[in-house]
Structure 1
Amino acid sequence: MTAANVLWASRFRAGPSPELMALSRSDASHFRLAPYDLAASVSHARELVRAGLLTQAEGEAIEAALAALGSEIAAGTLLPADTDEDVHTFLERALTEKLGPLGGKLRAGRSRNDQAANDLKLYLRDRGRRIVLDLLALQEALALQAERHLESVAPGFTHLQPAQPVSFAHQLLAHAQGFARDIARMQDWDRRAARSPLGAAALAGSAIAKQPELSARELGYDGPCENSIDAVGSRDHVAEFLFVAAMMGVNLSRLAEEIFLWSSRQFRWVELDDAFATGSSIMPQKKNADIAELTRGRAARLVGGLGTMLTALKGLPFAYNRDLAEDKRAAFEAVDTLGAVLPAMAGMVRTMRVDVDELRRQATDGFTLATEVADWLARRGVPFSEAHEITGRLVRYCEDRRIGLEDLDEEDLAAVDARLNASVKTGLTPEAAVGARDGYGGTAPRRVAEQLARLRSDFDGQRAWAMCYDGPRY
């Protein structure tokens, strides 16, 4: 590569070495930013017209050429060359090939520093909304299953040990609540990311592009960044995006883990649709929850990307440093990972079949109704500490005789404590236990139905936000 092939070569006597360019050239994935760079270039061309560096006719010619480049890139007829160091070099070369020296005028008043920060921010603001739409598809799948299973009782667990019966819908919506917070986090992130770096140039601001508030508005931002050094030297908006993605990955992994367990022969709660499961090349009987397993694995990438970005930022002096180029690698992997995982998870959840009878059979395994006994005693004036001790003895009595709480008769109850009588058994069904938890947020079916209605109402607002974006979208 010769010195003429890079944007920074004017003060050098020789071109960069192959070793330097092998390290310096952007990864091929970075060229996905081309449409966002073109959109920003249109705004910058208008700024140069306002500044008097371009005539109106020159500005219109540049805008037309930029639009043509966008069409060619979208059609796959314009591709970066091996000699293009990055997306900015690629597009300036292509523009100059179309317009000659006029294409070189566009570089005035800006830097790759503010361009790079802006391109990625535009990309993430766009893709963040697409991620939300994909996550809402998973939310709808969870809501659909929950609607079917408001009355289905299932064992609830703590420490992965049977604890108390719950509505299976309640268990599903516990995951939906976490995803709802993920969407809220993405919305919060977007509000903080809605500041344009354009006009910051290399670090000190531009002596030419002096109205960045206008280009900010054109690109869908709330306004320009307050400080030009911060605009080019900060990537906390990338780190925060990666945190949102990582938290989403953790929540996806927890759902995946549960589905993996539920679909196992040991649990037998759900059966996965054939289209969303895989088999074994050697064991013909196998039906594997590979989507769940792959999701757990990909979550590690999301967590790792956040760690990479935070480590890259740690100790960096202001303003721009090439270390910041790691932002794109981490951000693109997060976007691509979620783009693959979310639709697969949504399909798996939407199509899985729930064995309601098996859920009910297991709902009382492990003495999950013991708390009902303790509550029954407490409502009759027995201090709960004493009620807890009595119920513990009752469980040991059942264990010794290999019977369940539902198998106890009047004589058994009296043998443990004289205050126990047959009326306690009226509450010893999973339906009664679930129905008794009817406070706000509880597992009683009517409360779960209310929770589901509120969630679906939130979905409408979240979908409207994700689909309403004033910035460039490609």
Structure 2
Amino acid sequence: MKMWAGRFAVETDALVNDFNSSIPFDCRLYPYDIQGSLAHSQMLCDQGILSKEDKDAIHGGLNELLEEMNAGKIAFTPQYEDIHMCVEELLTKKIGDAGKRLHTGRSRNDQVALDMRLYTRDQIGIIHEKVRRFLKVLVDLSKNNLETIMPGYTHLQRAQPITFAHVMMAYANMLKRDVIRLENTYDLMNESPLGCGALATTTYPIDRNATAQMLAFKQPCDNSLDGVSDRDYCVELASDLSILMMHLSRLSEEVIAWCSWEFKFIELSDAFATGSSIMPQKKNPDICELVRGKTGRVYGDLNTLLVMLKGIPLAYNKDMQEDKEALFDAIDTVNMCLDVLVPMFQTMRLYKGNMLKAAQQGFLNATDCADYLTKKGLPFRDAYKISGSMVAWCIENKKTLNELTLEQFQSFHPLFEADVYEAIDLLQCVQARQVHGGPGKASVQKQIQAIEQFLESREADA
């Protein structure tokens, strides 16, 4: 019999039972449902609403249920409408009438809102730690490749020389912002909806501050209507995860290109690549392609939440049951991607010679050649035109700028002197860019230090 069956004269249709039930997916909330019930029953006892004997029986029964559920001894079958009814029914069977008193002063509306916040808060912490772990991998790669010259691209055309360390730190800064976004979401959502009731609290003298403190929330939600109907944190986390996945997808796209024979800048470990069923020479970066594909999946989860919520009046509506599968899927997808990307990056091999060769062949020092003339007193636009003419001549004659004789340099302009060769040396071109944020070794070392300090501050707070 349903917990709410008193109002109804006819049994619920089996199809409606299946359609209405959320137990197949909200069963993962069982630890949080029990955690919230332990706090709620303790508060009821402290307030004199529940006897100590009933509280002790409830706590004993809930802890037994938690052990049984953790051990996989309980089947979450469709006979239970949701995880909340499942826990309550099993508890009542286990301890009798005391179990029926657990729900005093609360509703499933504030119960599910609490469970989702507790679950989401934990998941933010897990993802936060995994992103920081990935950040550490990027820092290590940067430290080991401060002088690994490679082409920097705009429009997928070779543009200027940079280092592999500089590229890794670009993605490190993206992930740093992802960490901060997760922290902001955690801070905003860390308020307790327990005690909001169905929408208008309760006539019992409950202590919402006490349960908020027991459950490590900053405070109770200030408005009971908002407390049971707020799913902003679900949308915000899905947005955070979508941006994080966008960053992972962009990085994956780089790796996909770099693994190709056209680039051959890196090679993935055999443990993190796949082959072809028909072409024996193939080594495919399937992990990166899946990350790129799963990014769209997380975007879809965000859109599901936004569309689900956009037309709902206060307070709780059954539509809001749809928050769980979308958020669970986004969280599961991000966790899976981070779990596999970290060891993939730790084990990949860099072909530094190929990176350098690509940088040498792309006239990436043409800007530095123009800057050389500008520093000698020529207006930049004139220097730019001369440098462009030199590139055109080199292309026609199958040469690089570094291969020109001093006489050939001076045929384009007399300001060229022997020191031009140092000025257009690729490593020198990179190292000369010591402006804050630039690819020069000292500059990238400062970027690494900033990320390390950021990580250390998070370790201290953990």
In the superposition, the TM-score normalised over structure 2's length comes to 0.97
Give the superposition deviation at 1:51: 3.4
2:157 counterpart (140, 157, 161): 161
With over 3 angstroms needed to count, the CA separation of the structure-2 counterparts of 1:32 and 1:184, relative to structure 1, is same
Instruction: Write the distance in 2 (CA, Å) between the matches of 1:205 and 1:364.
Output: 71
Residue aligning to 1:333: 329
2:383 counterpart (371, 378, 387): 387
Instruction: Write the distance in 1 (CA, Å) between the matches of 2:460 and 2:155.
Output: 39
Residue aligning to 2:364: 368
Which structure exhibits the higher relative contact order, with contacts defined as CA atoms closer than 8 Å and separated by 6 or more residues? Answer: 1
With over 3 angstroms needed to count, the CA separation of the structure-2 counterparts of 1:209 and 1:197, relative to structure 1, is farther
Q: How much identity, in percent, do the aligned residues show?
A: 37
The letter for the 2-side match of 1:361 is K
> Is 1:31 aligned to 2:27, yes or no?
yes
Q: Is the 8 A contact 2:23 2:77 kept in 1?
A: no
With over 3 angstroms needed to count, the CA separation of the structure-2 counterparts of 1:209 and 1:392, relative to structure 1, is farther
Q: Is the 8 A contact 2:435 2:443 kept in 1?
A: yes
Secondary structure at 2:101 match in 1: helix
Correspondence 1:226-305 to 2 at 5 A: 226-305=222-301
The letter for the 2-side match of 1:402 is K
Instruction: Write the distance in 2 (CA, Å) between the matches of 1:379 and 1:27.
Output: 71
Q: CA-to-partner distance for each residue in 1:401-445, whole Å, 9 max, x for gaps?
A: 221111212332233233334432221111001101012211111
* Mean CA deviation greater in 426-435 or 204-213: 204-213
> Is 1:316 aligned to 2:316, yes or no?
no
Q: CA-to-partner distance for each residue in 1:333-381, whole Å, 9 max, x for gaps?
A: 0111112110110011000011111111111222110010111112122
Instruction: Write the distance in 1 (CA, Å) between the matches of 2:229 and 2:13.
Output: 27
Instruction: Write the distance in 1 (CA, Å) between the matches of 2:205 and 2:278.
Output: 65
Q: Is the 8 A contact 1:136 1:463 kept in 2?
A: no
The letter for the 2-side match of 1:418 is P
Instruction: Write the distance in 1 (CA, Å) between the matches of 2:403 and 2:451.
Output: 40
Secondary structure at 1:203 match in 2: coil
With over 3 angstroms needed to count, the CA separation of the structure-2 counterparts of 1:81 and 1:27, relative to structure 1, is closer
The letter for the 1-side match of 2:79 is T
Instruction: Write the distance in 2 (CA, Å) between the matches of 1:145 and 1:265.
Output: 22
Residue aligning to 2:433: 437
Correspondence 1:93-112 to 2 at 5 A: 93-112=89-108
Give the superposition deviation at 1:74: 0.4
Gaps of 5+ in 1: 469-474
1:53 counterpart (44, 49, 55): 49
What's the Cα RMSD here? Answer: 1.3
Which stretches of structure 1, 4 residues or longer, exceed 6 Å deviation after superposition?
none
Task: Give aligned pairs, total.
Answer: 462
With over 3 angstroms needed to count, the CA separation of the structure-2 counterparts of 1:223 and 1:52, relative to structure 1, is same
Residue aligning to 1:84: 80
Instruction: Write the distance in 1 (CA, Å) between the matches of 2:158 and 2:169.
Output: 19
Give the superposition deviation at 1:216: 0.6
Give the superposition deviation at 1:464: 4.3
Q: Is the 8 A contact 1:110 1:209 kept in 2?
A: no
Q: Is the 8 A contact 1:137 1:343 kept in 2?
A: no
The letter for the 1-side match of 2:58 is I
Q: CA-to-partner distance for each residue in 1:215-235, whole Å, 9 max, x for gaps?
A: 011111000001000011111
Instruction: Write the distance in 1 (CA, Å) between the matches of 2:88 and 2:109.
Output: 15
Residue aligning to 1:472: none
Give the superposition deviation at 1:27: 5.1
Give the superposition deviation at 1:151: 1.3
Correspondence 1:80-229 to 2 at 5 A: 80-208=76-204, 210-229=206-225
Secondary structure at 1:135 match in 2: helix
